[in-house]
Structure 1
Amino acid sequence: MTAFDDLMAFQRETSALGQISGRLGWDQETVMPRGAAQQRGEEMAAIEAVLHARRSDPRVGDWLKRAEAPCEVGAAQLREIRRAFERTSKVPADLAKAIARVTSQAQGKWAQARADEDVAAFLPVLEEVVALKREEGAALAQGGDIYDAMVEDYEPYTTGGQIAAIFDAMRPRLVALRAAVLDKPMPKGVSGTFDEQSQMQLSRKLAVTFGYDLNRGRVDKAVHPFSSGSGLDVRITTRTSNVDPFNCFYSTIHEVGHAAYEQGINPAYALTPLGQGVSMGVHESQSRIYENQLGRGRAFTGWLFGQMTDLFGDFGISDADEFYSAVNRVHNGYIRTEADEVQYNLHIMLRFDLERALMAGDLQVADLEAAWNDRFEADFGYAVDKPSNGCLQDVHWSVGLFGYFPTYSLGNVYAGCLYEALQAAVPDLGAQLGQGDTSGATGWLHENLQRHGGLYAPREVIERASGMEPGPEPLLRYLEGKFGALYRL
């Protein structure tokens, strides 16, 4: 056994334990009894302590010094193990354990506060989370920018300043497009009630249609849809509303984008650093292109209209063109996950600025609700009506995912680049999607991006797949073209 072999054997065991930790999180969000939250917090803290000890084990450092990469893949493995080892070694074990315990408990308190519309009940534990994450960020940054250190967890080799520059370039055109669209008459939406069981039936069909392998996954319900796991066990969740079936269907397609990425990675990379998506921005590029450019496109919505008509009968939409308009209706709303493509990135920019201020100490947790409400009214032109539509709507801050939010918009930017390349590579894409056949699109994404897992750095894998340096222009062209035509601008 060489040092490289010893390191990889150790890494596979660590990755397997990480998958178990992820499964505990999935269970907590789906079927765990509500009264188990405190014990689950202790369980999560215990396994995090084991993981932290393994990830910062001095033997890893020794192996890294002596290991020689046998090939390009081996070099990428060493690169990612070294990056993770150096980061983990900077964070004290007691701090990592405390974060795991508090965030596990905070998740349940957030869910209850959201249900009760009670921000005050959530703020004390959020104070703890923010304090612990700032401590972690300071340890990682070692005198540098705390928020940059946090972004590195989700989008390696990217800084808050670089993200801010992208957002600054996008904002004026998004605001102008939003204003122009909302000045036009709003298309009609669906009407009636939609049976929950029937929604879940079609949801599972959509998952399979987009290439999700149910032999290695499952579809469940959760308050906040998410995807969990990698390799041979990749699970997704969705949610239902008896008056808004699109919430269920497009949440499912979105999460399948994440899951298909994980299921599509080269099996040889399983339980190694390369056996998962390379970044959350690249991950979001998959979920967003599945949901929006493919799932909300004119061709696929024509097929989906037929599926919904067969299942639900008359739901107030006369034909496929009217259905396409309904699916892509731009309208006022509070919820990020329900936002149309025109306004979605504005929701992300709001969160990005607020969490960056929290980490910098420029915004206090006690002032978060007021800051959110003021910014939302300034950006969207109307007031937040209740906390579950405001600062309590997302789970991310309760579980300590500071630095995660901007990757949603980076994913949109990456998806814009990929979609232009996909259209050129698959000339009959529209005809395929119109038959409910996504294999041309998903096959191209698998071959050019998904199978690589973490082999290449985030921006590199996008550039290799799309043939262009990632930037916001393709996304903006797509949005202005699509919604300009829809609303006859």
Structure 2
Amino acid sequence: MTAYDELMAYERVTQALGSVAGRTGWDQETMMPEGAADLRSEEMAALEEVLHARRTNPRTGELLETAEAPDDASSANLRHIRRSFERTTKIPADLATAIARHTSKGQGIWAAARADNDFKSFAPVLEEMIRLKREEAACLAAGGDLYDALLDDYEPGIKGAELQAIFDRMRPRLVALREKVLGADAPAGLDQEFDEAGQLAVSTLLAQTFGYDMSIGRIDKAVHPFSSGSGTDVRITTRTSPRDPFNCFYSTIHEVGHACYEQGINRDYELTPLGSGVSMGVHESQSRIYENQLGRSRAFTGWLYGKMRDQFGDFGVADEDSFYGIVNRVGSGYIRTEADEVHYNLHVMLRFDLERQLIAEQLEVADLEEAWNARFEADFGVAVDKPANGVLQDVHWSFGLFGYFPTYSLGNVHAGCLFQSLREAVPALDEQLSKGDTSHATEWLRENLQQFGGLREPRDTIRHACGFEPTEGPLLDYLDQKFGALYGV
């Protein structure tokens, strides 16, 4: 057995244990009884202790010094293992275990606080989480920027300053488009209740329409929709709202984008570092292009309109054009996951700025709710009415996912680039989508991006798929053209 073979055999077990930890997290948010929270936090801490020990095993360092890569995939595996080893060995085992334990507890306390609209009950948990994440970041940063060190977990190779520059270029055009659109007449929304069973039936149809393989996946309900797993076990969740079926439908399509990325990776990469999405920004490019450029297009919504009439009968929308307007209705809503395409990135920029301040100790948790509410009213022109619609709406900070939020907008930027290239490659796209046929689009994405998993670095992954250097321009042009035409501005 060569050094590379020994390394990969060891890594395969580590990857399998990581999958077990992921499935345990999935269970916590979907199936676990409420009273099991304390036990689950100990289980998660124990798993993290084992994983941390494996990831910092000195033998891995020895093998990395002598392992030779016979091909490009092997070189990529070594790159990922080396990066993980160097990063993980900087974090003390007791700190990694403490973060895992606190994360597991924090999610349950966040869910209860959100249900009760009680930020004060969650604030001490968040304070401790930030303390732990600052400590972790200090171990990783080597005197550099703490936020950059955390960001590297989700989008390797990018810095907060680079993201800030992208957002600074995006913001003026987004604000200008927002002002023009909000000055025009908006279509009325839906005005009836839609039963949960019907919503879930359409949700399952949408998942299958976008290529989600239910033989190696499943759909469950969760407070905050998410996707979990890779390879031959990739699960998603959605949620329902009686008066807003689009919350269910587009949450499902979004998570299916994530899931199809994982299901589409070359099976030879399973249980290796290449066997999952290369970064959250690339991952979000898949969920956002499925949800928006494909799922909210005029062509596809015409097909969806017919399916909703089949399921719910006459639901008060006269025709396909009216339905398209309702699906893409622009408004200053509170909730990021329900936001229209014009406002969505403004939601992300708010969170990006606040979490950078929290990690840099420029903002304290005691002042976070007030800071959130003031920024939201300034950006959206609406006062936050309750914490569940404001600072408590997202699960991410309860999990310690600092550095995750900006990848949503980076994913939108990447999706804009991918869609430009997809349209050129599939000229009959609108005709196909109007029939509910997404296969040509999803096959192009699988062929050009998804199958490669972690083979390339994130930016190279997008560049390879698009054929050009990624930039925010295609996304902003797409938004201007779509909503300019829709609202006549």
Does TM, normalized by the shorter one, top 0.5? yes
CA deviation digits over 1:77-105, x for unaligned, max 9? 00011011100010000000000000110
* 2:461 counterpart residue number: 461
CA deviation digits over 1:167-210, x for unaligned, max 9? 00000000010011001111122221101011111101110000
CA deviation digits over 1:134-169, x for unaligned, max 9? 000010001010000011000000000000000000
* 1:440 counterpart residue number: 440
CA distance, structure 2, for counterparts of residue 159 and residue 331 of structure 1: 31
1:56-205 map, 5 Å = 56-205=56-205
CA distance, structure 1, for counterparts of residue 311 and residue 112 of structure 2: 34
Q: Which amino acid aligns with 1:420?
A: Q
* 1:427 counterpart residue number: 427
CA distance, structure 2, for counterparts of residue 348 and residue 170 of structure 1: 12
* 2:50 counterpart residue number: 50
CA deviation digits over 1:437-459, x for unaligned, max 9? 00000000000000000000111
CA distance, structure 2, for counterparts of residue 296 and residue 402 of structure 1: 29
* 2:488 counterpart residue number: 488
CA deviation digits over 1:351-372, x for unaligned, max 9? 0000000011101111110110
* 1:320 counterpart residue number: 320
Question: How far off is 1:113 after superposition?
Answer: 0.3
CA distance, structure 1, for counterparts of residue 127 and residue 312 of structure 2: 46
* 1:364 counterpart residue number: 364
Q: Which amino acid aligns with 1:407?
A: T
* 1:258 counterpart residue number: 258
TM-score normalised according to structure 2 size: 1.00
CA deviation digits over 1:260-287, x for unaligned, max 9? 0000000000011100000000000000
Question: How far off is 1:20 after superposition?
Answer: 0.3
CA distance, structure 2, for counterparts of residue 319 and residue 348 of structure 1: 33
CA distance, structure 1, for counterparts of residue 345 and residue 366 of structure 2: 26
Q: Once superposed, what is the RMSD of the aligned Cα atoms?
A: 0.5
* 1:410 counterpart residue number: 410
Question: How far off is 1:238 after superposition?
Answer: 0.1
Question: How far off is 1:328 after superposition?
Answer: 0.2
Structure 1 runs not aligned, ≥5 long:
none
CA contact 1:189–1:317 (8 Å) conserved in 2: no
* 2:269 counterpart residue number: 269
1:202-281 map, 5 Å = 202-281=202-281
CA deviation digits over 1:321-344, x for unaligned, max 9? 000000000012100000000000
Structure 2 runs not aligned, ≥5 long:
none
CA distance, structure 2, for counterparts of residue 117 and residue 364 of structure 1: 20
- Work out whether 1:377 is the aligned partner of 2:396: no
CA distance, structure 2, for counterparts of residue 13 and residue 336 of structure 1: 37
CA distance, structure 2, for counterparts of residue 240 and residue 287 of structure 1: 19
CA distance, structure 1, for counterparts of residue 379 and residue 192 of structure 2: 32
CA deviation digits over 1:218-247, x for unaligned, max 9? 000000000000001000000001110000
CA distance, structure 2, for counterparts of residue 145 and residue 332 of structure 1: 33
CA distance, structure 1, for counterparts of residue 326 and residue 382 of structure 2: 23
Q: Which amino acid aligns with 1:83?
A: R
CA distance, structure 2, for counterparts of residue 316 and residue 162 of structure 1: 46
CA contact 1:217–1:236 (8 Å) conserved in 2: yes
For this pair of structures, how many residues does the alignment match?
489
Q: Which amino acid aligns with 2:188?
A: K
CA contact 2:234–2:259 (8 Å) conserved in 1: yes
SS of the residue corresponding to residue 228 of structure 1 reads strand
SS of the residue corresponding to residue 15 of structure 2 reads helix
CA contact 1:355–1:402 (8 Å) conserved in 2: yes
Question: How far off is 1:468 after superposition?
Answer: 1.3
Q: Which amino acid aligns with 2:86?
A: E
1:305-316 map, 5 Å = 305-316=305-316
Q: Which amino acid aligns with 2:468?
A: M
CA contact 1:277–1:453 (8 Å) conserved in 2: yes
Question: How far off is 1:425 after superposition?
Answer: 0.1
CA distance, structure 2, for counterparts of residue 336 and residue 76 of structure 1: 35
Q: Which amino acid aligns with 2:220?
A: D
CA distance, structure 1, for counterparts of residue 188 and residue 465 of structure 2: 38
TM-score normalised according to structure 1 size: 1.00
Question: How far off is 1:309 after superposition?
Answer: 0.5
Question: How far off is 1:67 after superposition?
Answer: 0.2
CA distance, structure 2, for counterparts of residue 269 and residue 382 of structure 1: 47
CA contact 2:332–2:381 (8 Å) conserved in 1: no
SS of the residue corresponding to residue 144 of structure 1 reads coil
Q: Which amino acid aligns with 1:482?
A: K
SS of the residue corresponding to residue 362 of structure 2 reads coil
CA distance, structure 1, for counterparts of residue 410 and residue 382 of structure 2: 26
Q: Which amino acid aligns with 1:423?
A: R
Q: Which amino acid aligns with 1:450?
A: Q
Taking every aligned residue pair, what percent have the same amino acid on both sides?
A: 69
CA distance, structure 1, for counterparts of residue 468 and residue 321 of structure 2: 33
CA distance, structure 1, for counterparts of residue 117 and residue 73 of structure 2: 49
CA distance, structure 2, for counterparts of residue 203 and residue 406 of structure 1: 27
SS of the residue corresponding to residue 223 of structure 1 reads coil
Question: How far off is 1:407 after superposition?
Answer: 0.1
CA contact 1:151–1:404 (8 Å) conserved in 2: yes
Question: How far off is 1:485 after superposition?
Answer: 0.1
SS of the residue corresponding to residue 90 of structure 1 reads coil
CA deviation digits over 1:378-436, x for unaligned, max 9? 11112100000000000000000000000000000000000000000000000000000
* 2:297 counterpart residue number: 297
CA distance, structure 2, for counterparts of residue 118 and residue 348 of structure 1: 23
* 2:9 counterpart residue number: 9
